Amino acid sequence: MNKKYGAIFLCLCLISVNVLWAERFQFIYTAGDKYRFLSTVQEDVYINRVLSHQAEILNRISVTVSAVTNGVGRHEAVFQTSERSVGVGSGRTFQWSQEYNSVFDRDKFGAYTIGPSYYMPVVRNVPIFPDRDLQIGESWTAPGEEVHDFSTSFGIKEPYRIPFNATYTYLGKKNYNGTEYPAISISYRIFDEPKRVLGTIWPTRIMGASDQVMYWNQKLGQPAAYTEQFRIIMELSNGSTVEYRGSAKAETIEAKPMNREAVAQEIAADINAQGIKDTTVRVVPEGVTISLENIQFQADSALLLPSEKAKLDKIAEILKRYPDRDILVGGHTALAGTAEGRQKLSEERAAAVADYLIGQGARTSTRVVVRGYGAERPLADNSTEAGRQKNRRVEITLLEN
């Protein structure tokens, strides 16, 4: 074979290989499907170019596809965010931060239809797929949008929108946690000088970048996971700058539906058999709750008494029997002192219980969220000592996920 025909033969082989590895990407929806996504964000926050703080943010997202019409899925989703500080002296637990509900439609190519009042999802119309087979190395672009809740930080009451154009490249098969997936790189850059919006302060210039790799589950027609590096800088109307930089990763988590009544009965039987006092079990909308009533701490503190640690050792062993369920640890106080003091104490006591359970191996820290309720959810009458004892409690909820 001479060099000329050899070159032609090589080209034909390359074309053949490229066609062989071509993939078509589309979302697949089935009414009744449920998905759960867990994302973690490591973030550094700079104010006027000086490091303000470091945080780890945990986002739990549960989605139900309630209906499918002509390939468009109606999604009903709950987005729950929690956060913990990073650094010396920081605890292991994530404190509950915010919860959002959202309803949106998404077509098979990834395009959203969503009402203007929803804050979540933050990133929309990503990914967007073209209606064709894609070969390794092939790129395309599509518009997207970030939507942020700046109501607390900037006093901007409406969801704040930042448009961008994303560039996609099909990378071929890549490994994620030991499994090969079709992978796509997603990159976008932001430079915007937006119009003024109503708020105490507002962004006058926004610059940023996001670089992601998404791993696609062809069987499910959904992302399996993604990793991201990001940076966003905002110049504000008061002359200051705020910068967020960090990394993120997310993955789909599968969990079977919980038979709540059966789980509650099993746990109640265990508690009774082990003689764990002042502890009850009940079914709640979120899952199954174990209520540790009259839990004992040192006076006006979050330091557990030794007797309570023995009780928590037994509770930790019970929790280990349900390893696919995340847990919410909620702190509650009696009606005493100030509302601010009750809230702080309930958060600290819930965190103390959660930290102990994590230390006993009941869950890893990313599987636990802590929330303080103060005296907002009493179980009994706060005018009696018996009632106050019942209300001073920590509740551990096995979540439906």
Rounded CA separation 263/268 (Å): 9
Half-sphere CA count of 175, side-chain side, radius 13 A:
2
pTM attached to this predicted model: 0.83
The secondary structure of 346-397 as a DSSP string is HHHHHHHHHHHHHHTTSS-GGGEEEEE-TTSS-SS-TTSHHHHHHHSEEEEE
The residues near 204 (Cβ < 8 Å, ≥ 6 apart) are: 193, 194, 235, 236, 237
Q: Where are the alpha helices (DSSP H) in 224-299?
A: 260-274
Conformational region of residue 321, where left means phi above 0, alpha means psi within -120 to 50, and beta covers everything else? alpha
Q: Are 139 and 167 in contact (CB under 8 A)?
A: yes
Angstrom distance (rounded) from CA 139 to CA 136: 9
How many residues appear in the chain? Answer: 401
Report how far Cα 173 is from the mean position of its chain's Cα atoms. 26
User: How far is it, in rounded angstroms, from Cα 45 to Cα 201?
Assistant: 18
Burial 51-69 (b: 16+ CB within 10 A, else e): eeeebbbbbbbbbebeebe
DSSP 297: B
Within 10 A of 377 (CB to CB), how many other CB atoms are there? 12
Distance (Å, whole) CA 361 – CA 347: 21
β-pairing verdict for 203-217 and 179-192: antiparallel
**pLDDT tens across the length of the chain (401 residues):** 443 333 333 333 333 344 456 899 999 999 999 888 999 999 999 999 999 999 999 999 999 999 999 999 999 999 999 998 876 556 678 888 889 999 999 999 999 999 999 999 999 999 999 999 999 999 999 999 999 999 999 999 999 999 999 999 999 999 999 999 999 999 999 999 999 999 999 999 999 999 999 999 999 999 999 999 999 999 999 999 999 999 999 999 876 788 999 999 999 999 999 999 889 999 998 899 999 987 888 877 788 888 888 899 999 999 999 998 999 999 888 888 888 888 888 888 999 999 999 999 999 988 899 999 988 888 887 778 778 778 888 999 999 86
Helix 260-274 and helix 306-319, axial crossing angle in degrees, nearest 10:
140
Tokens at residue 79, please? 């987005």
Bridge partners of 160, per DSSP, are 148
Q: What backbone phi and psi angles, to 5 degrees, belong to 76?
A: -115, 115
* DSSP designation for 198: S
